[in-house]
């Protein structure tokens, strides 16, 4: 490692203590769940450190591939964050994330976009224009990553006080007002960590949010419970039943997690368990649902194609939640798709 690479790694990489549950003030359900969540955090930072120090993006592949498969996706997420920060900093160079996703990060593209969102939360707004978000569909995951970061590190504000952005300046070309909803999906995902993988605490947290925000929050929690794990079968079934009118949203998030795991070839037993509980199918089958829902996507009404994609996926699990209609390309969304509050925000 060169002196410059070592310095860059030391300056950029956060301290691993930041991922400890006691430091964060998160709930500890038991030793096993604490160890899992802290391993997720430390693996994320290990991936970050790799990308912070390498001279060439391709040099990150070998050390990232050495990470155990159950946690490898988090290492790729952390690497994407570091590459995005390097893209955004003056004299840091450009196109690190683009090269990463075009190469070894391609199978981890979902996680890579989320990692860019972590970088967004750490960079000054003036640097956001340098962040990679070329895929018109997956770029919304950047805001999911941003929401996760804010809820993870600013828990009192974003979780306990249920802070919500009324508008958001990214992506700059979007006029739909949809960004706060994707941030909420990230907040919901982070709440799984804040609650220490305890579904009962997650539900109590969500009860403190406005009702119209809960579908997105439950979708995020479903993704985290499926991708990161940490709950038993009985706990997952309790969560599914407690979600009540949001069960289709929970299933949609789980299907996203299944798609990310399947694409990366990193499916583990806890992924299969959660997908069976929330979606009633295997990881491969739920991943196929997400792929089929992408066919012919286009913006519908004021909502971007990303939300249409999510609604199509949720409609596959309509038996588990409130009635939903499939949204084929070109069909106009009804006024009930958005709450009155969201309508006002868009106006």
> Which tens digit of pLDDT belongs to each residue from 151-185?
999 999 999 999 999 889 999 888 899 999 999 99
Q: How would residue 342 be classed by pLDDT, with cut points 50, 70 and 90?
A: very low
Q: How high is the pLDDT of residue 74? A: 98
| pLDDT tens per residue, range 301-338 | 788 999 999 999 999 997 544 434 333 333 333 322 33
pLDDT of 9 reads 60
303: β partners: 300
Judged by average pLDDT, the poorest of 16-20, 104-108, 242-246, 275-279 is 16-20
Q: Residue 255 above 70 pLDDT? A: yes
Which residues have CB under 8 Å from 310's CB, separation 6+?
A: 219, 252
pLDDT score recorded for residue 322: 40
CA distances from 38 to 98, 249, 270, 312, 326 (A): 29, 27, 17, 34, 39
pLDDT at 307: 96
What is the tens place of the pLDDT at every residue in 182-239? 999 999 999 999 999 999 999 999 999 999 999 999 999 999 999 999 999 999 999 9
Note the pLDDT of residue 117: 97
Please report the pLDDT score of residue 338 as a whole number.
37
pTM recorded for the entire structure: 0.89
Is the predicted pLDDT of residue 296 greater than 50, yes or no? yes
H/E stretch holding 259 reads helix 247-264
pLDDT in tens, 92-140: 678 999 999 999 999 999 999 999 999 999 999 999 999 999 999 999 9
**Would you say 190 and 201 are in contact if contact means Cβ atoms under 8 Å apart?**
no
User: Which residue would you say has higher pLDDT here, 141 or 15?
Assistant: 141
Query: pLDDT at residue 21 above 60?
Result: yes
pLDDT in tens, 318-328: 754 443 433 33
* Neighbour count for residue 347 (Cβ, 10 Å): 7
- Rounded to a whole number of angstroms, the CA Rg of the chain reads 19
- Across the range 256-280, mean pLDDT stands at 98
Cis peptide leading into residue 171 (ω within 30°): yes
In whole angstroms, give the CA distance from residue 205 to residue 293.
31
- In this predicted structure, what is the pLDDT of residue 94? 80
The pLDDT value given to residue 298: 83
Q: How far apart are CA 131 and CA 116, in angstroms?
A: 7
């Amino acid at each position: 490692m060169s002196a410059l690479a070592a310095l860059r790694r030391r300056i950029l990489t956060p301290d691993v203590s930041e991922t400890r549950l006691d430091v964060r003030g998160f709930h500890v359900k038991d030793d096993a769940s604490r160890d899992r969540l802290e391993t997720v955090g430390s693996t994320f930072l290990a991936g970050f450190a790799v990308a912070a120090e390498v001279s060439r993006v391709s040099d990150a592949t070998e050390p990232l591939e050495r990470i155990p498969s159950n946690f490898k996706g988090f290492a790729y997420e952390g690497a994407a964050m570091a590459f995005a920060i390097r893209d955004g900093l003056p004299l840091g160079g450009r196109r690190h994330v683009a090269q990463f996703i075009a190469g070894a990060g391609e199978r981890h593209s979902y996680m890579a976009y989320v990692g860019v969102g972590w970088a967004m939360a750490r960079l000054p707004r003036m640097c956001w224009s340098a962040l990679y978000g070329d895929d018109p569909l997956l770029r919304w995951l950047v805001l999911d990553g941003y929401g996760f970061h804010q809820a993870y590190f600013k828990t009192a504000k974003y979780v306990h006080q249920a802070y919500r952005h009324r508008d958001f300046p990214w992506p700059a070309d979007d006029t739909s007002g949809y960004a706060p909803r994707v941030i909420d999906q990230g907040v919901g995902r982070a709440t799984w960590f804040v609650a220490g993988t305890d579904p009962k605490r997650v539900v109590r947290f969500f009860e403190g949010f406005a009702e119209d925000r809960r579908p997105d929050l439950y979708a995020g929690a479903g993704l985290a419970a499926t991708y990161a794990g940490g709950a038993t079968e009985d706990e997952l079934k309790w969560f599914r039943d407690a979600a009540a009118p949001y069960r289709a949203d929970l299933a949609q998030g789980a299907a996203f997690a299944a798609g990310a795991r399947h694409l990366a070839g990193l499916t583990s037993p806890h992924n299969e368990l959660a997908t069976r509980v929330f979606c009633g199918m295997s990881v491969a089958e739920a991943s196929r649902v997400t792929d089929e829902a992408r066919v012919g996507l286009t913006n519908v009404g004021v909502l971007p194609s990303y939300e249409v994609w999510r609604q199509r996926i949720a409609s596959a699990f309509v038996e588990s939640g409130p009635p939903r209609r499939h949204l084929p390309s070109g069909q106009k969304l009804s006024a009930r798709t958005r709450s009155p509050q969201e309508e006002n925000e868009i106006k």
